[in-house]
Amino acid sequence: MIAGMEVGGAFLSFQSSIGGVTVNDEVWVTSTDSYANRVIATGSWAVCVEGVGWRAPPSIRLYPGAGVTLAILTQDASARHVLRLDRPASTYIIHQIPVQKMEFISGEWPASLVPLSIEASGLTSNPLICTEEQKYALEDVQVELPYSCRTKAPHTAQPILDINTGQLGCTIIPATLIREASEVELCAEWGVARTCTKVQLLPLVQVSSMKLSLQSQPTSFTVTGHPHALKLVRMTTSPGLKLDIDTKDGEISVLINSESVTCGIGWVNVVSKLTSQEIKVEVERECEVGCGTLLGAIFSLIRPFLPTLVTIVALAAGYT
């Protein structure tokens, strides 16, 4: 056995001397061992494996993406799972250890994703073992998770894996559009393990205007909704815009000011965590006369140097 050989094989050089004559040659030697990667995980965790076309035991579900395969552990028992790939010859070993605790993560979460913590002894990473590049390669991949979720009728719940955030949990699917706030129980079950929590179903927040112009003062809009949802509304802006925010009586008033005179379209991004909304308000910026034309663009470029140019012109005029 030759240690350190590549998976596909390698050229090996040989040299021999007989009677003062040296002979050199190269021989292609194929590898007899598959390259092995290893990872430690627990039940319901998901592991990214480079490549597609892997074969796995029945307790592992495989979901191929763009050059990456997602392996989900569907049973809660200690095991050594060997995934095999024929071309190139590779193996990937998942050492599974038993689940010690399954519970919902405390905090205020949207009904669209209430995250679960599934823990095992000695494991500290999140339940999705993937790099950022691998997550991108798994975009739009739909998976089936081994645990179940339930909530109060007529609403339903189902397991969910958010590949972007690396969280798994339960999502509540409302039977109808939520118009009034209510609290429901949400439970997750897997074998003998069971955990429950309370989740608020909140109506969507509303924005008074989706398009505004800084040329029409005052430039403002309001965000309305349930007071509990409004507490976790956050806003960001494009460069050059400044917000004055006032919250009272279940309403957020937003006054938009410009920090610089710039042409084009800006935006205010309104993010409501508890209703899983992201709303973009377009803002038409203040424009000078001629802005957007070639003359306006030239003027914008030379404006910072106008005092210097005026001084030079005055000095030149004094010498003539």
Q: Enumerate residues 6+ apart whose C-beta is below 8 A from 11.
A: 26, 27, 28, 29
Burial 7-26 (b: 16+ CB within 10 A, else e): eeeeeeeeeeeeeeeeeeee
Give the model confidence (pLDDT) of 100-112 as tens digits: 899 999 999 999 9
Average confidence score pLDDT of the chain: 84
pLDDT for position 225? 94
pLDDT for position 1? 34
Residue 19 has pLDDT above 90, yes or no: no
- Give residue for tokens 């429901």: 184
In the chain the domains, ranked by start, together with CATH numbers, are: 1-146 (no CATH), 206-285 (2.60.40.10)
Closest C-alpha to 254, from 211, 218, 304: 218
Handedness of CA 299, 301, 303, 308 (dihedral sign): negative
pLDDT for position 60? 96
Give the model confidence (pLDDT) of 110-137 as tens digits: 999 999 999 888 887 789 999 999 999 9
Which tops the pLDDT comparison, 285 or 151?
151
Residue 30 has pLDDT above 50, yes or no: no
Quick one: what percent of the chain has pLDDT higher than 70?
Answer: 78
Give the model confidence (pLDDT) of 35-80 as tens digits: 448 899 999 999 999 999 999 999 999 999 999 999 999 998 899 9
User: What mean pLDDT do residues 170-191 have?
Assistant: 95
Quick one: what percent of the chain has pLDDT higher than 90?
Answer: 63
Tokens of 19: 């009677």
Residue 22 has pLDDT above 80, yes or no: no
pLDDT for position 301? 57
Give the model confidence (pLDDT) of 73-95 as tens digits: 999 889 999 999 988 889 999 99
Tokens of 93: 């070993």
* Contact status, residue 175 vs residue 184, Cβ threshold 8 Å: no
pLDDT for position 28? 46
What length does the chain have?
320
Give the model confidence (pLDDT) of 226-253 as tens digits: 999 999 999 999 988 999 999 987 899 9
- Give residue for tokens 């924005």: 207
Residue 33 has pLDDT above 60, yes or no: no
pLDDT for position 179? 92
Residue 260 pLDDT class (50, 70, 90 cuts): confident
Which tops the pLDDT comparison, 11 or 257?
257
Residue 11 pLDDT class (50, 70, 90 cuts): very low
